[in-house]
């Protein structure tokens, strides 16, 4: 293991971490100078990951670089239950086929961050299937319904009269039993997993093991800086997106949110980030620091050359005013002599609705042939043609023609 002072290790491990429970035990185990078994479980509920999913994987990599043993646990058994964390309704269970396909996709994606040669892959069906009915009943006897209902989402659903299926109550127990089976020293997860992680700590104690230390990681805000990163909200950066799209999205975040992304997504050291903050405080343009973040993330999931090319394209398009080469051509056919610009934006596929078009115009996010438009009532006539731009990345070359 690398010979790094424990306090230096703790400074890096605290970075971006919401809670360490309890921190004193983590310090004690680090001082024992043996590789710790660090477990993180993933229920393969969807085939594609976004940057929000990678926050805990980045912390896994950090432990890995410090010489500890990483266990990437695929919840192929628990995935068939469906983790109800944070849900106010019963979550649908996955089929074995869906779980198998998604698990393969997960492994391919996370190995862009973790060293596959130093990562143990485990499937919790390998011990959960063997429990049988007798084992499940004995495991269930170790925890009370009252304790399970202390979990926020269960408590809310129970008090509001929403249904809770019996199998959902087993989920925290099964996740906790994973820690027993793996003899985990540390388990990590998002803040929404805190209850489940603490159940693992309690079960280990009951099984005569040293209880695991719990590290909770914050839920990454999406590009809007308000809501949790989510595909359903459209505020995400997918790790399989093309380099130019990824780079552009990261450059769109606010200067304040940039530091949050550095803390949770960057592999730069704490010392380097302090220097970056110092440079901005002394007058350096935050955009130049943001280039470092966007380039690092693109290079991680694509390549260094892709990052260089994406940065050049971004500068050409948004700083020098160059238009992209792949602007789509749209002919808008109308029966009247003119049409509202907002209707053109919707018909051209630049917005999803007229209300969104109006909002984008009022926010100053719409340009026609490079000129910013702020009048929501502007109309285009038959024969008009030009380039419409909505936001930073949506373009269309439109022509208004008679139907």
User: Tell me, what's the pLDDT at 92?
Assistant: 61
8 A C-beta contact, residue 193 and residue 216: yes
Pull the structure tokens for residue 148. 């399970």
User: Tell me, what's the pLDDT at 93?
Assistant: 63
Query: What does the angle CA 339 – CA 345 – CA 348 come to, to the nearest 5 degrees?
Result: 100
pTM for the predicted model, two decimal places: 0.72
User: Tell me, what's the pLDDT at 231?
Assistant: 78
Low-confidence ranges of the chain (pLDDT < 70): 1-2, 46, 81-94, 318-323, 325
User: Tell me, what's the pLDDT at 88?
Assistant: 46
Pull the structure tokens for residue 125. 């069906």
User: Tell me, what's the pLDDT at 325?
Assistant: 67
Pull the structure tokens for residue 242. 């093309």
Whose tokens are 């769109």? That residue is 252
- The count of C-alpha atoms lying within 13 angstroms of the C-alpha of 359, restricted to the half-sphere facing its C-beta, is 7
Residues whose CB is less than 8 angstroms from the CB of residue 137 and which lie 6 or more positions away in sequence, other chains included = none
Assign 384 to helix, strand or coil: coil
User: Tell me, what's the pLDDT at 397?
Assistant: 85
296-301 long-range contacts, CB within 8 A, separation 24+: 296/266, 296/267, 296/268, 297/51, 297/237, 297/246, 297/250, 297/265, 297/266, 298/243, 298/246, 298/247, 298/250, 300/112, 300/113, 300/267, 301/112, 301/239, 301/240, 301/246
User: Tell me, what's the pLDDT at 10?
Assistant: 93
């Amino acid at each position: 293991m690398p010979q790094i002072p424990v306090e230096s290790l703790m400074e890096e491990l605290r970075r971006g971490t919401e809670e360490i429970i309890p921190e004193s035990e983590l310090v004690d185990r680090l001082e024992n100078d043996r590789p710790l078994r660090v477990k993180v479980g993933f229920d393969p509920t969807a085939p594609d990951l976004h940057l929000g999913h990678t926050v805990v994987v980045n912390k896994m990599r950090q432990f890995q670089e410090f010489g500890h043993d990483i266990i990437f646990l695929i919840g192929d058994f628990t995935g068939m239950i469906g983790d109800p964390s944070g849900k106010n309704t019963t979550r649908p269970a996955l089929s074995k086929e869906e779980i198998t396909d998604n698990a393969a996709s997960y492994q391919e994606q996370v190995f862009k961050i973790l060293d596959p040669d130093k990562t143990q892959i485990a499937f919790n069906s390998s011990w959960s299937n063997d429990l049988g009915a007798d084992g499940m009943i004995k495991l269930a006897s170790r925890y009370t319904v009252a304790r399970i209902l202390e979990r926020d989402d269960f408590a809310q659903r129970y008090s509001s009269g929403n249904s809770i299926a019996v199998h959902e109550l087993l989920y925290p127990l099964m996740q906790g039993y994973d820690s027993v089976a793996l003899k985990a020293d540390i388990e990590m997860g998002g803040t929404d997993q805190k209850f489940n992680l603490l159940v693992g700590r309690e079960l280990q104690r009951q099984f005569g093991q040293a209880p695991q230390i719990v590290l909770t990681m914050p839920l990454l805000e999406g590009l809007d800086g308000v809501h949790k990163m989510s595909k359903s909200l459209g505020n995400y950066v997918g790790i399989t997106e093309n380099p130019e799209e990824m780079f552009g999205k990261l450059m769109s975040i606010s200067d304040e949110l940039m530091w949050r992304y550095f803390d949770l997504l960057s592999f730069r050291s704490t010392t380097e980030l302090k220097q970056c903050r110092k440079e901005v405080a002394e007058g350096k343009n935050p955009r130049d620091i943001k280039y470092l973040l966007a380039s690092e993330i693109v290079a991680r999931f694509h390549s260094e050359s892709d990052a260089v090319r994406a940065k050049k394209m971004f500068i050409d398009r948004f700083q020098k005013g160059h238009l992209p080469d792949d602007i789509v051509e749209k002919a808008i056919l109308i029966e009247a002599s003119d049409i509202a610009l907002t209707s053109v934006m919707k018909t051209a596929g630049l917005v999803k609705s007229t209300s969104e078009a109006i909002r984008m115009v009022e926010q100053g996010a719409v340009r026609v042939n490079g000129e910013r438009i702020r009048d929501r009532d502007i109309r285009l006539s038959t024969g008009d043609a030009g380039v419409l731009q909505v936001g930073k990345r949506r373009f269309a070359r439109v022509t208004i023609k008679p139907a």
